[in-house]
Structure 1
């Protein structure tokens, strides 16, 4: 089964990350590179990406056939999606195990959601 592991941070966690010495930030990035390599070797990694800063996001709303967009940063944002892992593993427990290893699980929120295999699952 496929699971999307979403890494959410908030402005305070981002500020904390930026306050770390370069060596600590490098260790955090190395953790993710090693985790990606491990999951690729086990056949569980489908895709993993970090996202650009949330202030560069666009929100899209179509109303009465007209597209409207708004820029960030958004004052109402408390958490933002910083990156994700798409994994294909045997169970939700395994996906949670992977998510719990991420340093961000102690700074922000790491959410695990099963991916629908088909639109028929939506019903």
Structure 2
């Protein structure tokens, strides 16, 4: 089963991290990512640009409305994600617990909805 592991942390705190700590975190991410690639769990993953680059889109009464930034103000922002293959939720949680940002933020683990492609014409 596939799970999306969404990485949340405080952008301001991350931006103010000492250079040595930032380099250490980057190295830890490289090691983690290489490990889940080698184990076969990795399907996709990327770091996101800061929320200052985000645009939120809504459609109301047939009109497209855009707002700069994320939808809601929160203490932690979505900073990246991994899409992984895991045998069950417990295995996905174990993978999520090894993401370096779990120590300073949070990781949301959510199963991917599996669609019957034959029913949607794919």
Does TM, normalized by the shorter one, top 0.5? yes
Distance 2:4 2:50 in 1: 20
Q: Equivalent residue for 2:82?
A: 85
The question of whether the paired residues in 2 share the 8 Å contact of 1:4 and 1:114 is answered with yes
For residue 19 of structure 1, report the CA deviation from its aligned partner. 3.2
5+ residue gaps, structure 2: 118-122
* More divergent stretch after superposition (50-59 vs 64-73): 64-73
| SS of residue paired to 1:117 | coil
Q: Equivalent residue for 2:15?
A: 18
Residue 30 of structure 1 pairs with residue 42 of structure 2: no
When normalised by structure 1's length, the TM-score is 0.84
For residue 54 of structure 1, report the CA deviation from its aligned partner. 0.8
Distance 1:53 1:6 in 2: 15
Distance 1:112 1:64 in 2: 34
Count of residue pairs brought into register by the alignment:
117
Q: Equivalent residue for 2:7?
A: 7
5+ residue gaps, structure 1: none
When normalised by structure 2's length, the TM-score is 0.85
The question of whether the paired residues in 1 share the 8 Å contact of 2:55 and 2:70 is answered with no
Root-mean-square deviation (CA, aligned residues, Å) is 1.9
1:4-45 CA-to-partner distances (Å, cap 9, x unmatched) read 0000113xxx33333333222111011111111111111110
Distance 2:44 2:7 in 1: 14
Distance 2:3 2:114 in 1: 10
